[in-house]
Amino acid sequence: MSLRELKMVIGGPQGAGLETILQVLTTALAHNGYGVLSGREYHSNIIGRHSYVLIRVSSYEIPRSLTYPVEVLAAIDPETVFTHYNDLAAGGFLIYDIGGEDIHVGKIVSMGRHLRERIEEELSREGVEPIIKELVNYLESKGVKTLGLNYREIVSELREKYGVPPAKLVRYTSSIVVGAIAGLIGLDAESIHVGFSYKFAGKEKLVEPNVYIAMRVAEIVRKLYGAPLALEESRLPYTEYMIVSGNDVVAMGKIVGGVRFQSYYPITPAQDESFFLENYERLVVDGEQLASIVVLQTEDEIAAITTAIGASLAGARAATATSGPGFDLMVEGLSWAGINEVPVVITYYQRGGPSTGLPTRGGQSDLFAAVFSGHGEFPRIVVASGDHLEAFHDAVEAFNLAERYQLPVIHLLDKFLANSVVTIPVPSTHDMTIDRGKMISHVENPFEYKRFSLDGPVSRRAPLGHAVMWYTGNEHDEYGHITEDPVLRIEMYTKRMKKIELADREIPEEQRAQLYGSDDPEILLVGWGSVKGVAIDVVEMLEKKGIRVGYLHIHYMSPFPRRRVSELIDKIGLENIIAVEHSYEAQISKLIAMHTGKMIRKEIVKFTGRPIYMHELATAVSRILDGRDKVVLNYGA
């Protein structure tokens, strides 16, 4: 019997090659047509602390969410076994290093005292001594199949065979894991070869010894178990996949969207996007350089936003990328962009706050920050992406909206999306247009140019260098000169505020809020950002049980899709609506209330910094249906 889908956790110390395992496996699986989604969890640390990837592979769809329990737990180190043994499904497989059999949980200081004590307690309740060997026996007694391998012995073969020096042998541990998993799934040598070739493109010498190790281990597994987790032949229609993280797709979207200036100050989980762009600072296709992108690492986030604004004034499509603490610093610049009607894009990757709260974990608790920060009133557009493909399109659209309405656009994402890697069909630019709005490059009389002409909410915009113009953070007249005249103040203020009304009229509400699942639901989940995937999965799951459920995905926070949301709420009834969010407050329900006067009182929230998993959301929904008003989720290491 073969499986329709498979979940795996692979864990080890930060820096031990998890990234390699993930890339190789994802590539190998994609090469066989499977859809793959993976989430990555790690500490705010460079080397040594526990990190892991959770992978979901499917032969019938591109997975949208992550879930437990898993069929495979592959441990690079003993800490992983202790941390995740509970995540294993009955009948699942544990891959571990028998070299670490005698390790006691109390000895693993990298683990953190709270977790150590919790696990010791948990195991002692089961009468298990917290030593790997004992834990393995216990798991076996529960039906888990274990696969103990001597990691050190296996990689040492590479010494004679490929002349790998002893100090470098541990780098091949990741290939043991790749091989063990390949063996369980039954991935063939060609797939593994493709996986490593993509990973080590440009460093071909590394491919062969890695493939060798992986296939050696796969062979051991095959002899022991056959290919017990073989997946069904993929039924997905794609002939190719793009393998991307959230950071990658946003950067790609920016490139297609015509970014020409990106400034940033390093901060997790945003910086990888700027690194990606820097790799493409010269856009060369077929030997021809089509364009170039200036990527500037600034001295701080204040400079990041203000240089981007400056570049935009000069006429370049300009953006910056950051997360919470950095965005806080950008807020003064945001207000300046607001009063000066500057098209600028801020890509905002949320993480767990407040302050540096959980710097490498996820969250959605910055919704209010994105929508409301800034002194004074000014219009802004806030778009929140729910998945990778959406993020790609939103990254392009963010520039279009910024230029069409001449205002700052905040593109809101989160760490879950930024760091999860997924196989997507190659996005198409077919229906895309680049809309530069009322940008002009020729001005009849450059001395009479009115940058802020009052003939409509959006004035003709000439870049610096095409006319004489003034900008100021103070209230100003049509030329951009300071004024405190009360009549002009009303006119200029109103002109600016009208833009959001214009955007509200022009951007279809179907684009700003999408309904998934039943179009006549009894129960409605409401959420945004990366809640999208897991909510849609749960909707489908519940529908199979005969419950008519829908998911309302709020895509634009500003201008808010007020009419659509309001109508849906009236139709379904507030008592049947549940807000789902990565926060304590379920901020989205407050935003909805603000715009519609209707306050959703039921909520499912999570603020551990870990994603919402499908299995826990499904359970939480049934608890709400049983009469609870609020469920706080907590699954995940």
Partner 1 sequence: MAHKPEYYRTDLWVDWCPGCGNYGILTALTQAIAELGLDPVKTVVVSGIGCSGKTPHYIRVSGVHTLHGRAIPFATGIKLANPSLTVIVEGGDGDLLGIGAGHFVALGRRNIDLTVIMHNNQVYGLTKGQASPTLPRDMRTKSLLKPNIQDMLNPLVLAIASGYTFVARAFALDVKHLKEIIKQAIMHKGASFIDVLQPCVTYNDVYTVQFYRKAIYRLDDESNWDPIVRDPSEEYEKKMKAIAKAQEWGASIPVGVFYHNPLVPSFEERLQGRLRYYIENPPARQSITVNGGAPLIDDRRMRKLFSKKIVPVRSRRPSD
| Sites for partner 1 among residues 230-269 (CB under 8 A) | 233-234, 238-244, 248, 252, 255-258, 260-261, 263
Scan residues 273-302 and list those touching partner 1 (CB under 8 A). Answer: 280-283, 285-286, 289-294, 296, 298-300, 302
- Based on the shown chain and the rule CB under 8 A, indicate whether residue 488 belongs to the binding site for partner 1: no
DSSP state letter for 161: H
Select 112 or 310, whichever has its Cβ closest to partner 1: 310
- Residue 466: CB minimum distance to partner 1, A: 7
Select 340 or 385, whichever has its Cβ closest to partner 1: 340
Select 280 or 493, whichever has its Cβ closest to partner 1: 280
- Residue 368: CB minimum distance to partner 1, A: 23
Do β-strands 318-323 and 523-528 pair in parallel, antiparallel, or remain unpaired? unpaired
- Based on the shown chain and the rule CB under 8 A, indicate whether residue 338 belongs to the binding site for partner 1: no
Scan residues 462-481 and list those touching partner 1 (CB under 8 A). Answer: 463-474, 480-481
Scan residues 105-144 and list those touching partner 1 (CB under 8 A). Answer: none
Scan residues 169-208 and list those touching partner 1 (CB under 8 A). Answer: 190, 194, 198, 201
- Residue 486: CB minimum distance to partner 1, A: 18
- Based on the shown chain and the rule CB under 8 A, indicate whether residue 306 belongs to the binding site for partner 1: yes
Scan residues 314-333 and list those touching partner 1 (CB under 8 A). Answer: 314-318, 332-333
Query: Alpha helices of 32-148 — where are they, by DSSP H?
Result: 78-84, 113-125, 132-141
- Residue 334: CB minimum distance to partner 1, A: 11
Of 246, 221, 240, the closest CA to residue 34 belongs to: 240
Select 342 or 568, whichever has its Cβ closest to partner 1: 342
- Residue 306: CB minimum distance to partner 1, A: 4
The count of other CB atoms within 10 Å of the CB of residue 357 is 15
Select 261 or 405, whichever has its Cβ closest to partner 1: 261
Please check whether residue 567 is in contact with residue 528, taking contact to mean a CB–CB distance below 8 angstroms: no
- Residue 30: CB minimum distance to partner 1, A: 5
Select 95 or 424, whichever has its Cβ closest to partner 1: 424
* The one among 125, 433, 486, 544 contacting partner 1 by CB under 8 A: 433
Tell me if the bond preceding 559 is cis, omega within 30° of 0: yes
Angle at 16 between CA 216 and CA 611, to 5 degrees: 110
- Residue 62: CB minimum distance to partner 1, A: 13
Select 471 or 493, whichever has its Cβ closest to partner 1: 471
Kindly state the number of chain residues that form the binding site for partner 1, as judged by CB under 8 A.
90
Question: 523 exposed, middle or buried (CB, 10 Å; 0-12, 13-18, 19+)?
Answer: buried
Please check whether residue 599 is in contact with residue 350, taking contact to mean a CB–CB distance below 8 angstroms: no
Please compute Rg for the chain using Cα positions.
26
- Residue 259: CB minimum distance to partner 1, A: 9
- Residue 26: CB minimum distance to partner 1, A: 9
- Residue 325: CB minimum distance to partner 1, A: 16
Q: How far does the chain reach from its first CA to its final CA, in angstroms?
A: 31
Residue 154 to residue 263: CA distance in whole angstroms: 46
Select 75 or 311, whichever has its Cβ closest to partner 1: 311
Select 81 or 215, whichever has its Cβ closest to partner 1: 215
Q: 215 by DSSP, 3-state: which?
A: helix
Residue 63 to residue 557: CA distance in whole angstroms: 26
The count of other CB atoms within 10 Å of the CB of residue 474 is 11
376: Cβ contacts below 8 Å, ≥ 6 apart: 335, 338, 339
Angle at 528 between CA 346 and CA 633, to 5 degrees: 120
Scan residues 11-70 and list those touching partner 1 (CB under 8 A). Answer: 27, 30-33
Scan residues 392-421 and list those touching partner 1 (CB under 8 A). Answer: 396
Which amino acid, one-letter code, is at 387? D
Of 264, 268, 258, 262, the closest CA to residue 301 belongs to: 264
- Residue 219: CB minimum distance to partner 1, A: 21
Please check whether residue 11 is in contact with residue 50, taking contact to mean a CB–CB distance below 8 angstroms: yes
DSSP element (H, E) containing 202: none
CA-CA-CA-CA torsion sign (69, 73, 77, 82): positive
* The one among 38, 51, 173, 312 contacting partner 1 by CB under 8 A: 312
- Residue 211: CB minimum distance to partner 1, A: 17
The count of other CB atoms within 10 Å of the CB of residue 163 is 8
Which span sits near partner 1 by CB under 8 A: 375-383, 459-467, 579-587, 588-596? 459-467
Please check whether residue 534 is in contact with residue 611, taking contact to mean a CB–CB distance below 8 angstroms: yes
Select 280 or 635, whichever has its Cβ closest to partner 1: 280
Select 198 or 635, whichever has its Cβ closest to partner 1: 198
- Residue 494: CB minimum distance to partner 1, A: 22
Residue 611 to residue 41: CA distance in whole angstroms: 9
Both tokens of 184, joined, read 């369980």
Site string for partner 1, 358-397 (x = CB under 8 A): --------------------------------------x-
Location of structure tokens 């890509």: 347
Q: 477 by DSSP, 3-state: which?
A: coil
Select 210 or 423, whichever has its Cβ closest to partner 1: 423
Q: What is the strand order of the sheet 344-350 is part of?
A: 294-297, 261-264, 318-323, 344-350, 408-414, 381-384, 556-558
Both tokens of 317, joined, read 């499509």
* The one among 119, 178, 313, 417 contacting partner 1 by CB under 8 A: 313
Which span sits near partner 1 by CB under 8 A: 88-96, 348-356, 425-433, 543-551? 425-433
* The one among 430, 505, 544, 545 contacting partner 1 by CB under 8 A: 430
DSSP element (H, E) containing 348: strand 344-350
Please check whether residue 605 is in contact with residue 627, taking contact to mean a CB–CB distance below 8 angstroms: no
Angle at 390 between CA 10 and CA 27, to 5 degrees: 35
- Residue 403: CB minimum distance to partner 1, A: 10
Select 15 or 480, whichever has its Cβ closest to partner 1: 480
Select 106 or 325, whichever has its Cβ closest to partner 1: 325
Both tokens of 329, joined, read 């610093």
Select 84 or 388, whichever has its Cβ closest to partner 1: 388
Site string for partner 1, 497-516 (x = CB under 8 A): --------------------
